[in-house]
Amino acid sequence: MGQPLDRVRRLGLLMSYTENDQEGRERLAAFREALRDTGWVDGGNTRVDVRWYAGEPKQAMVRARELVELAPDLIVVNGSPGVAALKRLTNTIPIVFVVVADPVGAGYVESLSRPGSNITGFSTFEPEIGGKWLEALKEAAPHIQRVGVVMDPNFPGFAALWSKIESVAPSSGLQAIAAYGRDGPEIDKAIEVFAGQSNGGLILLPTPINSVHRHAIFALTERHRLPAIYPFGFHARNGGLMAYGFDSQDLFRRAAAYVDRILKGARPAELPVQGPTKFELVINLKTARSIGLTIPPSLLARADEVIE
């Protein structure tokens, strides 16, 4: 039996960026627009309360608690730290996650087909993409022998990605090295230490803090002339060397349909977790020139977007 549709619904939205981050604002706008297309209008039949946690787990817990205390009808959450915080705080408020790695391995849902509790949503990468990141990075920079994988070790959702990269790296003649970064200063230090030896490249895993801290990472990789591959197209558009991933805003648009269904009575436990469907390779030639790298024509030919 559906819920009554004649009262204003309250939604919480927990975002993994800072409030002034352009990517975060665009994800929020994409969600609001898609939500409006389903008939739910912020300031009309819905009220949307937004909180930002800047990729930091402690802030995620603080902002998640603020939203839970508002007793909303549903919470949409971006990023693993936000889901982890909400899972600790409520098992009754419906939760739709967006851009979250390995929700089964992380323990957020029982299975992709039947999530089984108050949580469902839209996941990110299958572990196999780790091999594609390695291949593209090695093709762009054949001289590299070591790959630093920048990640947050506190979140089990990223473990499968790391394991895949570590296991397939030798087949590309590479050694994978974990570079742990839980916050901005720790990421900077990990990259500085890794850059102390030659013939290195970087893979940035899709942790929220890596995206929040991306401009500082771009500056460091340029200074140390480190080739790097990123998980989202906007990373390359914002100044990173290259990215292979999906359109994250598309997942926010698709999430609005799940919000609509839940507000009309569907149970999160019975809505399967969905993944991305469209992937893109984006290469930034300006950044390549700045680190003295010539991207081979074979790789440029496969790119969906080349930034001059």
pLDDT tens string 160-217: 999 999 999 999 999 999 999 999 999 999 999 999 999 999 999 999 999 999 999 9
pTM, full prediction:
0.93
Please state, rounded to an integer, the average pLDDT across all residues of the chain: 95
Q: Can you list the alpha helix ranges (DSSP code H) found in the chain?
A: 22-37, 57-69, 80-89, 129-140, 159-168, 184-194, 208-212, 214-223, 233-237, 248-263, 285-290, 297-302
What CATH class does 9-124+248-277 carry? alpha beta
Residue 3 has a pLDDT of 45
Query: Does residue 2 carry a pLDDT above 70?
Result: no
d(CA 238, CA 230): 11
What whole-number percentage of the chain has pLDDT above 70?
98
Query: Does residue 1 carry a pLDDT above 90?
Result: no
d(CA 139, CA 130): 14
Comma-separated ranges of CATH 3.40.50.2300 domains in the chain = 9-124+248-277, 129-245+280-307
Query: Does residue 254 carry a pLDDT above 80?
Result: yes
pLDDT in tens, 138-158: 999 999 999 999 999 988 889
User: What backbone torsions phi and psi does residue 254 show, to the nearest 5 degrees?
Assistant: -70, -30
Ramachandran assignment for 235, one of left (phi > 0), alpha (psi -120 to 50 degrees), beta (any other): alpha
pLDDT in tens, 80-130: 999 999 999 999 999 999 999 999 999 999 999 999 999 999 999 999 999
Closest CA to 149 of 108, 92, 121, 190: 190
Residue type (1 letter), 301: A
Q: What is the DSSP track for 218-257? A: HHHHHHTT--EEESSHHHHHTT-SEEEEE-HHHHHHHHHH
d(CA 299, CA 120): 36
CATH number of 129-245+280-307, picked from 2.60.40.4070, 3.40.50.2300, 3.30.70.580, 3.40.50.300: 3.40.50.2300
d(CA 29, CA 154): 30
